[in-house]
Structure 1
Amino acid sequence: MAHILLTGGSRGIGAAIADRLRDAHTLAVQSTGGDLPADFADPAAPADLWRRALDRLDGRIDVLINNAGVFEANPIDQSDDDWVAGWERTLRINLTAAAELSRLGVRHWQEQGLPGRIVNIASRAAHRGDSPAHWHYAAAKGGMVAMTKTIARAYARDRILAFAICPGFTMTGMAEDYVASRGGDKLLADIPLGRVAMPDEVAVMAAFCATDAPESMTGAVLDVNGASYVR
């Protein structure tokens, strides 16, 4: 039985990932927002979460899925202090917390002599950028992709694998509000598929990377965006 720590598992993409993994009946999944709450705006939260997850999962974590994140507007006409605070909050929650958990995972697997997997839920914004009010979000997700590649290259010989998934707009409550705020049909016209992704579609990819992806795929960055950005 694989022991999996999933962050941001209470809603949207995270909830879909948790459901798909639990449906496999071979996995023990602990997720933030539900049975292991954590506020990643608090710098102490990642290490505290890791300790509690290890306790809950009998001292072993096989897979880390970094999904927790925020998508908050940060327009450039805010005050200097507010704009910088928006950057620091988004980077702390979306990137630094994931980096801290990834580091703890790598060290755990190295110390135990075990293989491990990290799956990072990034974004299409990592490649094509985002709106003028979301510089910080795009930067955080770009950093997550770069971090994934670095981990994959650095620790493959230890059988520590890393993957990144880059969804475009996904039909979560957050995405519904944003699609409506940006004109709805006009935004959808930028997606050749004609619709945003469903959380289950992203969950399929995350579960595959977490459990079944071949080792030689380590470092892969997988797009789920309806061909709205192709590389």
Structure 2
Amino acid sequence: MTVHILLTGASRGIGAAIAATLDAPGIRLATQATTGPLATDFNQPVAAPSLWQRALDALDGRIDVLINNAGVFEATPIDSSDAEWLAGWERTMRINLTAAAELSRLAVLHWQGRESGGRIVNIASRAAHRGDSPAHWHYAASKAGMVAMTKTIARAYAAQGILAFSICPGFTMTGMAEEYLASRGGDKLLADIPLGRVAMPDEVATMARFCALEAPASMTGAVLDVNGASYVR
């Protein structure tokens, strides 16, 4: 049977690499990006339910796998004004965590309604465990929330065949990471990665494909690190 997959954040970087690795026979892929038929601004409260319905329409009423990859990585320095700091916090939380939660809820209800299982793959971050820079409290908190949400879904619905996995990349060679590496002194940050380099998008995509299609059911709830041993648990 063809597997129907909804992937968010497919415009570039990790999302584009995931889309490429899922471009294969036996897979129908609906991709959310900033442009195109499934374009979505997750900063808007009604965005996630609208995307879910449009994706269902595009995939003939059935979604088997949800991959939550959409996210932002925007600095909000502690000495910003109160209003700016709060606005940055709430924007990051809504895009990185709340939208993923809304889509995950709709996915679980969809699978319960048809009495068949499904898979959720959440692209979180090393920051969920290690934290991030002083200007990125909100980013670290959003990714930690995503990991906790994944574990909760896995524990709550495994008996119904609903599986959930988190992937936690460290620095990955995307537009967001390149900018951050440059701003924080790239050589110094690279020295903190025993592998000696940042991850490549296709490495994270390989893990996402595995979780979406191949990971055994007993792996549900797993949090998989892709960070060159820069953070080990």
* TM-score in same-fold range (> 0.5): yes
Shift of 1:26: 1.5
Query: Which structure 2 residues correspond to residues 1-231 of structure 1 after superposition, within 5 A?
Result: 1-22=2-23, 24-33=24-33, 34-231=36-233
Kindly state the Cα deviation for residue 25 of structure 1 after the two structures are TM-superposed: 1.7
CA distance in 2, matches of 1:3, 1:28: 5
| Inter-partner Cα distance in structure 1 for 2:3 and 2:11 | 20
Query: Using the alignment, how far apart are the partners of 2:178 and 2:25 within structure 1?
Result: 31
Q: CA deviation at 1:96?
A: 0.2
Q: Secondary structure at the match of 2:146?
A: helix
Q: Give, in angstroms, the shift of residue 116 of structure 1.
A: 0.3
Distance 1:155 1:91 in 2: 24
Deviation string 1:27-84 (CA, Å, 9 cap, x unpaired) is: 1011111441111000100000000000000000000000000000000100001101
For this pair of structures, how many residues does the alignment match?
230
1:171-206 deviation line (CA, Å, top 9, x unaligned): 011111111111111110000000000000000000
The sequence identity of aligned pairs, in percent, is 77
- Superposed structure 1 runs of 4+ greater than 3 Å apart: none
Give the secondary-structure state (helix, strand or coil) at the position aligned to 2:22.
Answer: helix
Following the alignment from structure 1 to structure 2, what is the Cα–Cα distance between the partners of residues 100 and 183? 36
Distance 1:189 1:25 in 2: 41
Task: Provide the rounded CA distance (Å) in 2 between the counterparts of 1:84 and 1:183.
Answer: 27
Quote the offset at 1:209 in angstroms.
Answer: 0.1
TM-score (norm 2): 0.98
Q: Partner letter of residue 39 of structure 2? A: P
Q: CA deviation at 1:16?
A: 0.1
Per-residue CA deviation, residues 72-119 of structure 1 (Å, 9 max, x unaligned), is 000010000110111000000000000000000000000011110000
Counterpart AA for 1:2: V
